[in-house]
Structure 1
């Protein structure tokens, strides 16, 4: 049996808010994934830049396609346009886009994704604007 020895597979934060899912179309939720003062409130599970795993009910992974404007409990939802690592224990750099005002990649962040076997973890930075948040999907 092969065990993943990457530290981020064992030491990471959890993003589990149900309003973070791409299926959340409620415009009344206004959160951001940034530790700063802004228009919206900081997301309850956001701890600043670091390794994160998406977990039910938020979904099981970072959204892999543009989810649309004003979903996931924010105005500018974050998703990745990168492929994820195929092999267990593999990590790779990813680009993360934030959709805003009809532009699917208005703001960008870089991050990383690690394949932990049965799940992925992501290195996520504070979002570039406090109207943006990382979106979960399944």
Structure 2
């Protein structure tokens, strides 16, 4: 990687370093592999006590654990995610083309699903998201994570006559292998009803 310095424009002779991949949060971030953040971790399920993100330092983070790798876009009930107040994303995650966007993380508290909130930055890195997180506004409160689900469009082309149900089965098997390889673990896919045209799988962007 070229990090060669060049003379400053102001003529002072000070060196400036050009933009590099190290400035990209998709490259430069901290990985949080904390499975206790899962929406399935109640106060009894994970048995680690109440957790709080109050001491979390502001910075870019990537969630990556079997407890999930994406902040959920729905309100999460109290006492999940190994905390009392649950942090959820009030908005949609961006596409790759959107770049860095500003979104709101809300912290649920009894009758108020957005009792406290934090404005954060999010970037879609194609196969994962990174978040510029901030300390929780009070305790006990923590950001939740969930497994990332998304729609995948599959185009199949026929070179021979085949039954539609058999074509769907073949497509699901091939897609399952692709997703497991990308995730690095076994995930269960579900086939939703739709039109199946049959055989050659084309991977969609971001799938």
Q: CA RMSD in A?
A: 1.6
Query: CA shift at 1:26, angstroms?
Result: 2.5
The TM-score with structure 2 as length reference comes to 0.56
1:89–1:117 contact (8 Å) kept in structure 2: no
Deviation at 1:57, TM superposition (A): 2.1
Aligned length: 123
Determine if the alignment matches structure 1 residue 34 to structure 2 residue 54: yes
Aligned equivalents of 1:13 and 1:127: distance in 2? Answer: 17
2:134 alignment partner, one of 112, 121, 125: 125
Equivalences for residues 9-24 of structure 1 within 5 A:
9-24=26-41
d(CA) in 1 for partners of 2:26, 2:80 = 28
The Cα of 1:120 is off from its aligned counterpart by 0.5
Rounded Cα–Cα distance in structure 1 between residues aligned with 2:32 and 2:116: 21
Work out which of the residue numbers 76, 89, 113 in structure 2 matches 1:67: 76
1:27-53 CA distances to partner (integer Å, 9 max, x unpaired)?
452111122xxxxxxxxxx4x111111
- The answer to whether the Cα contact below 8 Å between 2:43 and 2:83 also exists between their aligned partners in 1 is no
Equivalences for 1:41-56 in 2 at 5 Å?
Answer: 46=56, 48-56=57-65
Kindly state the Cα deviation for residue 91 of structure 1 after the two structures are TM-superposed: 1.1
* Alignment pair present for 1:58 and 2:78: no
* Displacement of 1:58: 2.9
- Partners of 1:116 and 1:134 lie apart in 2 by 20
Report if the CA contact (8 A) 2:96-2:123 is conserved: no
Pick the structure with more helix per residue.
Answer: 2
TM-score of the two chains, using structure 1 as the length reference: 0.82
CA contact (8 A) 1:89 1:116 kept: no
Q: Which residue of 2 aligns with 1:108?
A: 117
In structure 1, the gaps of 5 or more residues are 36-45
Which whole-Å deviations, capped at 9, do the CAs of 1:37-80 have from their partners, x for residues lacking one? xxxxxxxxx4x111111111230111211110011010101010
Summarize the Cα distance change of 1:118–1:57 in structure 2 as closer, same or farther, 3 Å threshold. Answer: same
- Structure 2: which 5+ residue stretches go unaligned? 1-20, 148-207
Match of 1:87 in 2: 96
Distance in 1 (alpha carbons) for counterparts of 2:111 and 2:40: 18
> Looking at both structures, which has the greater relative contact order when contacts are Cα pairs under 8 Å and sequence separation is at least 6?
1
